Structure 1
Amino acid sequence: MTIKITKDRVPDILRAIKDLTSKEVLVGIPDTDAGRDEGAISNAEIGYLMETGSPAQNIPERPHLVPGVESAREKIEKRLKAGAQAALSGKASDVDATLTAVGITAENAVKAKITDGPFTPLSPKTLAKRRARGRTGEKPLIDTGQYRRAITHVVRKKGD
């Protein structure tokens, strides 16, 4: 006589799938923690200003958030596929790990885009202001490093 023990894993699978689909990963600079050591403008505001530009302030667009994340699309898709497979196996604990890995991947891609560019060069006026403050760097988006360090990710429930 053969005894077969079957465990119903459907509830685990449904819970893991629900967990995966009810969360989102956000990459950028959270406005609640976007302060700077100096100046009146926050890192989140700088990010928006650099991403979209400001003709009124003679600031060209220097897109880096969206293109940075886009540059990591293939890696992100692979991680999400692995997370979905884990969810289909009922491994709810792997869902958060997957979403965190996606966030870190996207965050690092944005930071790499800031470092590598290419961007519209800084104006001579901006470069002169930097030199007057003792700065020698000429890369757009990189002066003190505060902005790049502020790039982060969060995993949260959708709608929060």
Structure 2
Amino acid sequence: MKSGLTVTKDSAQSIFDALKAIGKRDVLVGIPSDRAQRSEGQGINNAELGYLHSNGGTIQIPEHDVTVNRKINADGSFAQNGQFVRAGKSNFSTIHTVKAYSVTLPPRPFLELGIAYKNKEIVAELKLAAVAALSGDAAWSEKYLNRAGLIAMNGAKGVIQAGDKLTPLAESTKRSRRSRGRIGEKPLYDTGGLLRAITYIVRDKNATS
């Protein structure tokens, strides 16, 4: 019985090489070590913070000083009833010492939710990567792997930017933000540092970061 398959060129070696190459590659989405650093003096980096946010946990906050910014009118009274403002709009600042305390974070699995939301698109790109490998085209296979990573990355960022799929902020967190002149109430989105740190990489399985 004829198989219906016509071989016009022996490309077995190139197919084998491409399959071997894709089998050694990983698509990773998250916060790599070279993007984990936060502002100077902060005891936890973005990678650790992302893990805690995803899985939940308790953070020990050491004693530290905070600067409170407000605005004073020309007559010496506080503007906006003394509410805190951003540093750029302030003309009156005071420094306060905050004693050590702990914060318990509920799980907010932004990576998992983002990947699940974009699952069909991600799987489609991975299938194309496999097809390209079977065709012996390692270059296109790599491109599809990168496209899968990009989609997954944007999915995770989209979860943070939308904010509606995550456990809402506690009232104490809202008060803390307002004390620093921040009015946003989206979970995981305060300074934007965590959001900017999220990326993807395509690398060999045995590589380390």
Task: Tell me if both proteins adopt one fold, taking TM over 0.5 as the criterion.
Answer: yes
SS at match of 2:29: strand
Deviations 1:95-123 (A, max 9, x none): 21111111101000000111123222211
TM-score by length of structure 2 reads 0.70
- Greater relative contact order (Cα < 8 A, sep 6+): 1
| 8 A Cα contact 2:26 2:204, kept in partner | yes
Report the counterpart of residue 30 of structure 1 in structure 2.
32
Report the counterpart of residue 114 of structure 1 in structure 2.
160
Question: Structure 2 CA distance, aligned partners of 1:116 and 1:133?
Answer: 22
Report the counterpart of residue 111 of structure 2 in structure 1.
65
| 8 A Cα contact 2:128 2:141, kept in partner | no
Report the counterpart of residue 54 of structure 1 in structure 2.
57
Compare CA radii of gyration and give the structure with the larger one.
2
The 5 A counterparts of 1:130-141 are 130-141=177-188
Report the counterpart of residue 157 of structure 1 in structure 2.
204
| 8 A Cα contact 1:24 1:157, kept in partner | yes
Question: Structure 1 CA distance, aligned partners of 2:167 and 2:9?
Answer: 60
Report the counterpart of residue 80 of structure 1 in structure 2.
126
Q: What displacement does 1:34 show?
A: 0.3
| 8 A Cα contact 1:52 1:62, kept in partner | yes
Q: What displacement does 1:151 show?
A: 0.3
TM-score by length of structure 1 reads 0.90
Q: Which has the higher strand share?
A: 2
Q: RMSD of the alignment, in Å?
A: 1.5
Structure 1's consecutive aligned runs of 4 or more residues displaced over 3 angstroms after TM superposition are none
Runs of 5+ in structure 1 lacking a partner?
A: 1-5
Q: How many residues align?
A: 155
Q: What displacement does 1:30 show?
A: 1.0
